[in-house]
Structure 1
Amino acid sequence: MREATILHQVEDIYYPVLVAVGIPVNLMAIVILSRGKCGLSRCITLYLVAMATADTMVIFTDVILYTIIPFHFPGTYMDTTPAISLILVLLSAATDVSVWFTITFTFDRFVAICCQKLRIKYCTTETATVVLTAVSVVLSLKNITWYFIYEPEYIVDDVPWGSTISLSFYTETAWVAFDLFCITLTPCFPFLLILLINALTIRSILVTGKIRRRLQKSSNCEDRNDPEMEKRRKSIILLFTISGSFIILWMTRVLLVLYYRITMNIHDLTGPGHIAEQTGYMLQLLSSCTNTCIYVVTQTRFREQLRDALMYPFTAVVAWF
């Protein structure tokens, strides 16, 4: 039994609430976006549906299977070594896919906003399907390797129970290199990549806006409303809110990973380092259910569809009577 610290008490409340809120809102987002009535292109809709699906898998594997069930229901089949190894593969793959779906969406919006010639060929449903499928397959295959890092703590009736990381994971060069590669792939490189893409997008927007204002001034245009800029405004807001949320909620986790890798410090399980690490972990998981809130705030038609969906049971009862 673990010590009932304040952090553990917070976790015992936080994770069930995250499941109770995160899975329904993500499923609601998938249904609403899939109907195609939110005023978004099919390409954007495909990315957003894929991101919501990946976020749902993160909550299911990382929070339910890996965190809640083993603690609240000990001694079940979920505590066997094969089950723990399989859960590690699933949650690692779900996390990687969720992160890289955000990257692919960010890059797609960067191309749509900043690369007018490439936009026609790249920002299509066919390209989005290929990109999302390739990312899912490659990252899922990569994470199969995690299945082999655990060894059983004890064996009862030829059934391996518990999990302990194999000593070779820390000593063999191949495992050390694989671990470093995984940390670089997620979350360090995506974090830097999304910052770079957003910086380039902002730079392009500023340059384009300055040029268009000069053209308007030179042509003595009285109407200051630029149809092209208004058309891109929705994509820009959606891009910056999603990527900004990702950066804020992953920042603690990324900084801690870099700190411990550079300094090679090992924190205790009760000190400030552990509290910071668990806080970063909770914030990271929170990023799996924030996109729907972003759609509600930034997308008028999504709000309308959500309102209709929430009111449907009441309107159906009224219509029946």
Structure 2
Amino acid sequence: MGQNLRTIDWNVTTMGQNLRTIHWTLTTMGHNLRTIGWNVPTTVRNLLDWSNPFWTIQYLYEYYDSLSLEDRIYYAILGMELIYYPVLAAVAVSVNLVTIVILSRGKCGLSKCVTRYLVAMAAADLLVIITDVILRQIPIAYWSQFRFVRSIPVCNIHAVLLYAATDCSVWFTVTFTFDRFVAICCQKLKITYCTEKTAAVVLGTVTVLSCLKDTFWYFMYSSGYMLGNEPWFCAVTPSVMASRIWAVVEALHYILTPGVPFVLILLLNALTVRHILVVSKARRRLRVHSGWESPSDPEMKSRRKSIILLFVISGNFILLWGFFMVYSIWNRMHYLGFYSVYLHEFIQELGFMFQLLSCCTNTCIYAVTQTKFREQLKNAVKFPFVLIVKFIK
């Protein structure tokens, strides 16, 4: 223990272990990786101030030459998270609250059916930001300031709420995509399906099913917080980690969210784009036969915008969720003994960052593209300044 952190790092590498193995060994013993900082001698502890939330930046600076490229990226990302998550929380809470208020007023020129879906999506994203970013990621990033959280025995309840909110956020996007598919491609079904009442029933059903599905996390996790950078943030017993039954349950969880939504969104968007292209070709032929040679066709421009919007939606969802899904499934397979592929921890951190960023972008992609929504947003931004001016006068 009289060696410095650099020597420890090389000794661990020589023994063929990595930081992840040390983490889970200590977790099994009832510790956390970050408690290593309090077990090293005073001279080493003074060299790296473990109570300083920016210790990762200091470590990266002190031992940059001895670290691999993957470790450099990993510690740089950990340092970025200290700023990223608080900023994301502030922006996402503000954006989603404003979106909910503006859409609820019904002055954006959208149908009541569409408005219900967009409000539900914004509300679900807001819950994800609260339960995941504010109550999970920020305490993990600032672990030395939030050590008191370990004494609050509600982690498994927190997990149920977090995963239920995440499922709702993802599946609300799917249900809205299906609603738009019906509205564009199924004119006969549109009359009965694309209604405010149907939207309420669909959203309520998704919410209930998500809550029921995620109750198993209450039994899988313990009630104690781990404050560690892992897919599961509560303390997990070795029997659960090594259990193939729980591995199957967890794999099914990630298949349902976001695996199946990936496929459904791609399929629905592909069918919608195909329908738009077919109708556009028919319209173009009709214009030629009718002798209408005007270069401008407002209808085709509108459909072209719809295609672009659908591709943006699909690309945004898959890109921001892809890292997280791949790493989460691999992580579980790794602990069951499948070592054929190695993925560094920085991929997981990127997965968390991108996945939570989607809570800012999903609603904006659908709603901010609307002209009337932008006008309402401008009015909302100007409103505090208008009040100040009136007060001064």
TM tier, smaller? 0.7 to 0.9
How far apart are the structure 2 equivalents of 1:213 and 1:194?
Answer: 28
Change (3 A) 1:237 1:133: farther
List per-residue Cα deviations over 1:233-267 (Å, max 9, x = no partner).
66655544333321221122234345556773399
Deviation at 1:42, TM superposition (A): 1.2
Higher mean C-alpha displacement, 249-258 vs 229-238? 229-238
The one-letter code matched in structure 2 to 1:103 is V
1:65 pairs, out of 120, 125, 135, with 135
1:27 is matched with 97
Question: 1:109–1:235: 8 Å Cα contact kept in structure 2?
Answer: no
Q: Report the alpha carbon displacement of residue 75 of structure 1 after superposing the two structures with TM.
A: 3.8
Are residues 1:44 and 2:114 paired?
A: yes
Instruction: Check conservation: 1:168, 1:175, Cα contact below 8 A.
Output: no
1:178 to 223, 242, 249: 249
Task: Spell out, residue by residue over 1:114-155, the C-alpha distance to the aligned partner (whole angstroms, 9 max, x if none).
Answer: 11111111111111110000000110111111011123679x
Unaligned residue ranges in structure 2 (runs of 5+): 1-33, 35-49, 57-74, 226-232
Distance change >3 Å, CA 53–CA 252, structure 1 → 2: same
Deviation at 1:292, TM superposition (A): 4.9
Match of 2:106, SS state, is coil
Q: Residue 145 in 1 paired to residue 219 in 2?
A: no
Q: Which residue of 1 aligns with 2:199?
A: 128
Code of the residue aligned with 2:87 in structure 1: it is: V
CA distance in 1, matches of 2:189, 2:363: 29
Look at both structures and tell me which one has the larger radius of gyration over its CA atoms: 2
In 2, Cα distance between the equivalents of 1:177 and 1:296? 37
- Distance in 2 (CA, whole Å) between partners of 1:261 and 1:165 is 13
RMSD: 2.8
* Residue of 79, 85, 89 corresponding to 1:9: 79
The amino acid across from 1:85 in the alignment is: N
Which shows bigger deviation, 217-226 or 49-58? Answer: 217-226
* Change beyond 3 A, Cα 1:262–1:81: same
Which ranges of structure 1 fall in alignment gaps of 5 or more residues?
155-161
Q: Using a 3 Å threshold, how does the CA distance of structure 1 residues 168 and 106 change in structure 2: closer, same or farther?
A: same
Greater Cα shift, 294-303 or 13-22: 294-303
CA contact (8 A) 2:254 2:325 kept: no
Contact 2:276 2:303 in 1 (8 A): no
The 1:171–1:260 alpha-carbon spacing in structure 2 relative to 1, beyond 3 Å, is closer
In structure 2, how many angstroms separate the alpha carbons of the residues matched to 1:153 and 1:29?
35
Whole-Å separation in 2 of the counterparts to 1:152 and 1:305: 44
The two structures have a TM-score, normalised by structure 2, of 0.71
Shift of 1:297: 5.1
**Structure 1 segment 66-215 matched on structure 2, within 5 A:** 66-69=136-139, 71=143, 73-76=145-148, 78-80=149-151, 82-151=153-222, 163-172=234-243, 174-215=245-286
Match of 1:158 in 2: none
Does residue 288 (structure 1) correspond to residue 359 (structure 2)? The answer is: yes
Letter of the aligned partner of 2:213 in structure 1?
K
Q: What is the aligned length?
A: 310
Q: 1:153 to 1:242 in 2, by over 3 A?
A: closer
Deviation at 1:311, TM superposition (A): 0.7
1:267–1:274 contact (8 Å) kept in structure 2? no
Residues of 2 paired with 1:73 and 1:168: CA distance?
30
Shift in Å, 1:171: 5.0
Q: Which has the higher contact order (CA 8 A, sep 6+)?
A: 1
Distance 1:53 1:72, change over 3 A: farther
Taking only the aligned residue pairs, the percentage that are identical comes to 52
| AA in 2 matched with 1:194 | I
2:16 equivalent in structure 1: none
